[in-house]
């Protein structure tokens, strides 16, 4: 494996690690609240992981993965917009 391939592999693994962290954060937050909740940081880790994985999938030229990550980023951003809108109404 050349250095370029290794770099992309590490980048892809980094994106997966960001996704894993969002679930860890959600789980810990829910345990503290004693109910199922999704903290705002979950959406930021979702966006970060999706963008890193999008870069990886573009490099790999994986159209199915690209479409999935683009859709995911849009959904995660929309959730943050909804959270901010709810704050403005409170």
Nearest to 51 by CA among 12, 90, 2: 12
Provide the pLDDT for residue 44: 93
Reported as a single tens digit per residue, the pLDDT across 9-35 is 898 888 888 888 888 888 888 888 887
List the domain boundaries for the chain: 3-89
Report helix, strand or coil for 2: coil
* Contact (CB, 8 A) for 90 and 64: no
DSSP of 19-83? HHHHHHHHHHHHHHHTS----HHHHHHHHHHHHHHHHHHHHHT-HHHHHHHHHHHHHHHHHHHHH
- The whole-model pTM stands at 0.75
Stretches where the chain sits below pLDDT 50 are none
Predicted pLDDT at 48: 92
Give the CA radius of gyration of the chain: 15
pLDDT at residue 90 in the model: 66
State the pLDDT at residue 62.
87
Predicted local confidence at residue 3, as pLDDT: 93
């Amino acid at each position: 494996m050349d250095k370029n391939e290794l770099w992309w592999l590490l980048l892809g693994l980094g994106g997966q690690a960001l996704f894993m962290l969002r679930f860890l954060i959600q789980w810990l937050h829910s345990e503290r609240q004693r109910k199922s909740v999704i903290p705002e940081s979950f959406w930021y880790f979702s966006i970060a992981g999706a963008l890193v994985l999008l870069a990886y999938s573009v490099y790999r030229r994986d159209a199915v993965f690209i479409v999935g990550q683009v859709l995911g980023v849009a959904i995660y951003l929309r959730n943050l917009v909804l959270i901010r809108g709810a704050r403005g109404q409170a």
